């Protein structure tokens, strides 16, 4: 296939690009700042054609889609706390999705596979695991709002244009191969370095970036693929994650205590102070606690398993290789 990967230099984008090249497909990657040698060197070594395209530049996306058979739309901002949610998160996600789909239709692309997220499905438990039937229309965190609104817009535009769209909804992504930290990998490096003395009583579900990439490829290759596919592996509390990390990476210095809920206001204030005084990326806010604080939430990847033949690797393998990558390359914060 001749394929376009938007956001090809991100954590998931890099894994997908490597998988596509290894699978024999002809890959064009779009990103911002292709003149940066350090940023693009790994992709150029793969023989990928790189083009400059901001997701808010409709004309650039149209040029990037020319002659493509499949478009993988991955480009998005991944932060939980930002200064201007509309400008920094919602506009790039929603307008970017619309522009990418309209560009794909104009170019005659046969299918678009778009990266959504489990946050568009929700993070509040039901009497069953959450799955593709669920939508997070009551999201309070700006990132969750952006991903939900973007996927809603994508389905709206796809219907309008009669465009073949498939969405992949991964949970929190770990795994090696990233050039900069994400909110998920930042927790791991802080646990390795002993910079996270306590953790909140949150639960997160994880998936390997390479397994999430595989789901995208399966969705592109299977003519019967349709709708949404949630991809998820293990669900762990943060203290369980710390214990598993210690087991696979003995040199790590993970936390051993859980932050009581009554201390959340103090933790939020400390998070804000560290950001203002040391430039540490913010991770904790009132809406983050509200959005992701449910300790009972679980997800089901049964549809992806049954219809795509998708299967994740053992989580300890993912965790060990994430730690190994961090220690070896020491990526900067975003």
Instruction: Name the residues annotated as catalytic.
Output: 147
Alpha-carbon dihedral angle through residues 32, 37, 42, 45, given to the nearest 10 degrees: 110
CB–CB of 150/156 below 8 Å? Answer: no
Q: In sequence order, what are the residues at sequence separation of 6 or more whose Cβ sits closer than 8 angstroms to the Cβ of residue 186?
A: 281, 283, 333
b (16+ CB within 10 A) / e for 102-127: bbbbebebebbbbbbbbbbbbbeeee
CB–CB of 292/183 below 8 Å? Answer: no
Alpha-carbon dihedral angle through residues 116, 117, 121, 122, given to the nearest 10 degrees: -140
CB–CB of 125/296 below 8 Å? Answer: yes
b (16+ CB within 10 A) / e for 158-181: beeeebbbbbbbbbbbbbbbbbeb
The bridge status of strand 26-31 relative to strand 165-170 is unpaired
DSSP category for residue 201: S
Alpha-carbon dihedral angle through residues 324, 328, 330, 331, given to the nearest 10 degrees: -80
Cα distances (angstroms) measured from residue 3 to each of 11, 32, 74, 216, 324: 18, 18, 13, 12, 31
* DSSP H or E segment with residue 166: strand 165-170
Rounded-to-integer distance, Cα 208 and Cα 151, Å: 22
């Amino acid at each position: 296939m001749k394929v376009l990967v938007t956001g090809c230099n991100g954590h998931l984008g890099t894994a997908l690009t490597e998988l596509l090249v290894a699978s024999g497909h002809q890959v064009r990657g779009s990103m911002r700042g292709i003149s940066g040698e350090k940023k693009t060197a790994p992709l150029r070594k793969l023989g990928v054609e790189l083009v400059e395209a901001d997701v808010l530049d409709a004309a650039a996306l149209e040029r990037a889609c020319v002659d493509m058979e499949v478009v993988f739309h991955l480009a998005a901002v991944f932060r939980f706390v930002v200064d201007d949610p509309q400008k920094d998160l919602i506009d790039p996600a929603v307008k970017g999705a619309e522009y990418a789909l309209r560009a794909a239709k104009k170019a005659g692309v046969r299918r678009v596979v778009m990266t959504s997220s489990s946050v568009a499905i929700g993070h509040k438990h039901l009497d069953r695991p959450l799955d593709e039937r669920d939508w997070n229309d009551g999201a309070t965190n700006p990132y969750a709002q952006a991903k939900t609104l973007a996927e809603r817009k994508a389905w709206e535009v796809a219907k309008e244009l009669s465009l073949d769209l498939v969405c992949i909804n991964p949970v929190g992504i770990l795994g090696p191969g990233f050039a900069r930290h994400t909110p998920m990998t930042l927790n791991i490096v802080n646990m390795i370095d002993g910079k996270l003395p306590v953790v909140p009583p949150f639960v997160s579900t994880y998936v390997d970036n390479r397994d999430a990439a595989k789901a995208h490829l399966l969705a592109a290759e299977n003519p019967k693929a349709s709708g949404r596919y949630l991809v998820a592996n293990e669900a762990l509390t943060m203290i369980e994650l710390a214990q598993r990390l210690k087991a696979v990476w003995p040199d790590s210095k993970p936390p051993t205590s859980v932050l009581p809920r009554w201390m959340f206001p103090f933790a939020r204030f400390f998070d804000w102070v560290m950001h203002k005084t040391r430039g540490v990326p913010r991770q904790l806010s009132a809406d983050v606690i509200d959005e992701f604080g449910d300790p009972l939430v679980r997800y089901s990847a049964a549809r992806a398993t049954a219809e795509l033949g998708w299967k994740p690797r053992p989580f300890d393998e993912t965790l060990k290789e994430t730690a190994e990558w961090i220690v070896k390359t020491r990526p900067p914060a975003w």
